[in-house]
Amino acid sequence: MTDENANEETATGPGPAGLCAGRVVVVTGAGRGLGRAHALAYAAEGARVVVNDLGVRPDGSAARDAGGPADEVAAEIRAAGGEAVAHGGDVATPCGAASLVATALGTYGRLDTLVNNAGFVRDRMLVNLAEDEWDAVLRVHLKGHFLPLQHAAAHWRAEAKDGRNPRARVVNTSSGAGLAGSVGQANYSAAKAGVLGLTLVAAAELGRYGVQVNAIAPAARTRMTERTFAETMAAPTDGTFDAMDPGNVSPLVVWLGSAASEGVTGRVFGVEGGRITVMEGWHPGPTADKHARRTPAEAGGTARRLLAEAAVPEPVYGAG
């Protein structure tokens, strides 16, 4: 682990123009929590921001202020002297994702960065998890990543083929639940693990068009986490550093979405408080090759010997 001096951190700022000056950034689920923090941070670095949010409740059900949070964040950015436009479409539908990209292009004439962040939770133990609760969470987190990414990628591919050479960026949002699992969140964990696979494939496929794709696994205080982790997520009352403030995650997201991150793609970063971790995923461990077919008993014996040599896996959140 590397400790960094606070003066070193602040000394690497982008200067008056802003790290994202001239860039157009789309942030989904940007009406509250992490998405709001990202939208404000991008605007502070000179980006023009498309603020997407449906304004739903934490479980995805309709709220009376549907669409309102996106308007509020866009207005907040404009009041601070930035440029922003609200988008209230459902990014987990083809029409909503298409209109999201069209809003950026129609309003600002370009699209440089897509931050996929929208989501909600419907937590249940596996045996009590209803099919519609499974479908709803997979839809918003996984399909809600895929569709905006697909529409943005189609635009960037066309730009590249026309010789305009995008320096495009995508930041996807996974979770510790996607990396390690989380008791009571089978649907959410599966969706967030799927986001990791989508990120790796997109990075490999889209690099030829000037698109970099990375993912974060953040830990912060949001509407989704407050109920599950109320005690550990509580804000300090003594003026000390608030490690769970969503704004702590945004600086890395802004950097990944900027031209300054050139050459960084297909990576997953853990982000919590002041800590940034490069996550290293599945990789081959102990291996044995007989060069012939085993019997089931032989396969079991080999598996047990290899497991004795292997590292102990990280525990699932909430287990034990």
Domain with residues 15-278, CATH architecture? 3-Layer(aba) Sandwich (3.40)
Tell me if residue 209 is catalytic. Answer: no
Catalytic residue among 175, 182, 258, 261, which?
175
Residue tagged 């939770």 (tokens): 121
Tell me if residue 192 is catalytic. Answer: yes
State the sign of the Cα–Cα–Cα–Cα dihedral 61, 132, 177, 278.
Answer: negative
pTM of the predicted protein model:
0.89
Here the tokens at position 191 are 């969706």
Identify the three-state secondary structure at position 3.
coil
The number of beta carbons lying within 10 Å of the beta carbon of residue 296 is 7
Q: What Rg do the C-alpha atoms of the chain give, in angstroms?
A: 21
The answer to whether 78 and 90 have CB atoms below 8 angstroms apart is: no
Catalytic residue among 108, 174, 192, 317, which?
192
Q: How does pLDDT run along the chain (320 residues), one tens digit per residue?
A: 666 654 434 333 444 579 999 999 999 999 999 999 999 999 999 999 999 999 866 655 665 555 589 999 999 999 999 999 999 999 999 999 999 999 999 999 999 999 999 999 999 999 999 999 999 999 999 999 999 999 999 999 999 999 999 999 999 999 999 999 999 999 999 999 999 999 999 999 999 999 999 999 999 886 555 555 455 556 677 777 888 899 999 999 999 999 999 999 999 999 999 999 999 988 999 999 999 999 999 999 999 999 999 999 889 988 87
Q: Cα–Cα–Cα angle for 209, 105, 250, nearest 5°? A: 75
Interacting residues of 161 by C-beta distance below 8 A, sequence separation 6+: none
What are the residue ranges spanned by the domains of the chain? 15-278
The number of beta carbons lying within 10 Å of the beta carbon of residue 47 is 29
Residue tagged 């702590």 (tokens): 248
Distance of CA 306 to the CA centre of its chain: 34
Residue tagged 């809600």 (tokens): 144
Alpha helices in 125-216 (DSSP H): 131-138, 144-161, 176-180, 186-206
Catalytic residue among 42, 99, 182, 188, which?
188
Interacting residues of 28 by C-beta distance below 8 A, sequence separation 6+: 35, 52, 53, 91, 100, 115, 116, 117, 118, 144, 148
Tell me if residue 188 is catalytic. Answer: yes
What is d(CA 150, CA 54) in angstroms, rounded to the nearest whole number?
20
